[in-house]
């Protein structure tokens, strides 16, 4: 065994992207020097402004992607993100027999099946443990620890930026102020749409569905709901209902069909998901045989994500490969029946509750409770209606009818209520 170790050369690594995560990966490789790994090249646009003196002098800095891809590196670590040009670089690397490690959740969500097949055909591997939940080993856990189970439900917090914003709002902060602070700290991009709009979490959910539930779906079939409409009054009402608010990604198999959703939801304070704050992520998986499993930890940030990237590299250097998990193409073809929280803001007048109750009754939706706080102005009166479990499509039809009423100050806010 010792002779084999001494003759096996270290994997030569090209790092594509020297931003927050890329720098953390380079720092780990430079300071910890994991056995079998050698950082040889760093690619970045305008690379001169990125150079640092703590990277080894033998590392080649380049802004020529073609030259790096055509070099003798064994593994390309892609940390640039997005579908292109990252997708083209990864495809070229795999077709040349190189392996790839990436944190690119969007690319894996849309093209993961295709890229894995490409890697297998050319003798390489593609690993993406950092693509979901940053430094939490959810993907390795699914590939190795839970591959023997049949997971039928996924529920959790997959976006650290939204979790930071909502947990700060829970303490009384204003959305815009918290978003600005998240951008200042580097948690959110200048354009935060991917995060607050739910698109980032949607891509991660699609990846988890393929690995855990064995179905691959087009992420575009999942319609995310943004957190931007959540207001301080909603946290006040949520507390009255024994809940808080988090951005929840959820998928389940119902009668052989697949349901999935992403958006702000009410979470009972007794649920472990309610305990997740700041940049933490949490994933709860329900298996047919193994029951519930929870993964929790730092889901975002340069260092936690870099740990997952380097762990994938160490696995490659050790000769390990991805567990082949077969999946079938599926469409989002059903709806979960869950309870809902609906917050209205109205110009008060007689008959409003009767109108709302009538629209809900027409869709056979039962009201569970009506909650109204005292002391609010009559020309902008917020109140909440909670309804028993129903299909989202039926609730949408009822709310579409209510939206035609002239007493509304703004469109109603609808959020799912998770079960305890």
Question: What tokens were used for 137?
Answer: 């080993």
Q: How far apart are CA 388 and CA 365, in angstroms?
A: 7
Distances (CA, A) of 219 to 31, 140, 224: 38, 22, 10
Q: 194: part of which helix (H) or strand (E)?
A: helix 193-196
Span between the terminal Cα atoms of the chain, in Å: 52
Q: How far apart are CA 129 and CA 140, in angstroms?
A: 6
Q: Could you confirm whether 127 is annotated as catalytic?
A: no
Q: Which of 71, 59, 35, 118 is nearest to 318 (CA)?
A: 35
Q: How far apart are CA 299 and CA 16, in angstroms?
A: 21
Q: Which of 285, 123, 290, 273 is nearest to 211 (CA)?
A: 285
Q: Which of 370, 371, 416, 369 is nearest to 395 (CA)?
A: 416
Question: What tokens were used for 94?
Answer: 């795999």
The single residue of 204, 362, 364, 403 carrying the catalytic annotation is 204
Q: Chain centroid to CA 80: how far?
A: 17
Q: Which of 419, 409, 418 is nearest to 229 (CA)?
A: 409
Q: How far apart are CA 139 and CA 133, in angstroms?
A: 9
Contact 76, 98 (CB under 8 A): yes
Contact 160, 281 (CB under 8 A): yes
Q: How far apart are CA 152 and CA 214, in angstroms?
A: 10
Contact 382, 353 (CB under 8 A): no
Cis peptide before 85, with omega less than 30 degrees from 0? yes
> Which residues are catalytic, by number?
204
């Amino acid at each position: 065994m010792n002779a084999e170790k001494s003759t096996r050369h270290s994997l030569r690594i090209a790092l594509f992207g020297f931003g927050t995560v890329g720098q953390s990966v380079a720092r780990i490789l430079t300071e910890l020097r994991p056995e079998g790994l050698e950082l040889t090249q760093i690619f970045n646009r305008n690379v001169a402004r990125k150079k640092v003196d703590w990277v080894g002098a033998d590392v080649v800095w380049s802004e020529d992607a073609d030259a790096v891809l055509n070099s003798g590196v064994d593994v390309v670590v892609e940390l640039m993100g997005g579908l292109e040009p990252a997708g083209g670089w990864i495809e070229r690397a795999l077709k040349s027999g190189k392996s790839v490690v990436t944190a690119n959740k969007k690319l894996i969500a849309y093209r993961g099946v295709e890229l894995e097949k490409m890697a297998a055909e050319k003798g390489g591997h593609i690993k993406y443990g950092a693509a979901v939940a940053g430094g939490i080993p959810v993907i390795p856990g699914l590939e190795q620890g839970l591959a023997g189970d049949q997971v039928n439900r996924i529920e959790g917090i997959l976006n650290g930026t939204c979790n930071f914003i909502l947990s700060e709002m829970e303490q009384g902060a204003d959305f815009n102020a918290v978003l600005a602070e998240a951008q200042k700290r580097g948690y959110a991009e200048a354009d935060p749409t991917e995060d607050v709009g739910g698109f980032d979490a949607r891509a991660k959910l699609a990846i988890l569905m393929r690995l855990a539930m064995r179905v691959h779906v087009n992420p575009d079939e999942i319609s995310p709901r943004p957190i931007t409409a959540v207001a301080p009054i909603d946290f006040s009402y949520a507390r009255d209902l024994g809940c808080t608010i988090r951005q929840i990604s959820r998928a389940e198999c119902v009668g052989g069909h697949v349901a999935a959703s992403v958006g702000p939801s009410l979470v009972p304070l007794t649920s472990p998901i309610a305990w997740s704050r700041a940049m933490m992520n949490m994933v709860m998986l329900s298996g047919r045989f193994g029951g519930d499993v929870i993964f929790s930890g730092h889901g975002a940030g340069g260092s936690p994500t870099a740990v997952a990237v380097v762990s994938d590299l160490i696995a490659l250097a050790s000769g390990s490969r991805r567990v082949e998990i077969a999946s079938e193409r599926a469409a989002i073809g059903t709806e979960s029946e869950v309870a809902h929280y609906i917050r209205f803001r109205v110009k008060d007048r007689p008959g409003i509750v009767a109108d709302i109750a009538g629209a809900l009754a027409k869709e056979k939706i039962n009201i569970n409770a009506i909650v109204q706080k005292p002391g609010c102005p009559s020309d902008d009166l917020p109140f909440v209606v909670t309804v028993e479990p129903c299909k989202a499509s039926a609730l949408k039809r009822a709310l579409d009818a209510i939206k035609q009423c002239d007493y509304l100050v703004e469109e109603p806010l609808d959020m799912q209520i998770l079960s305890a």
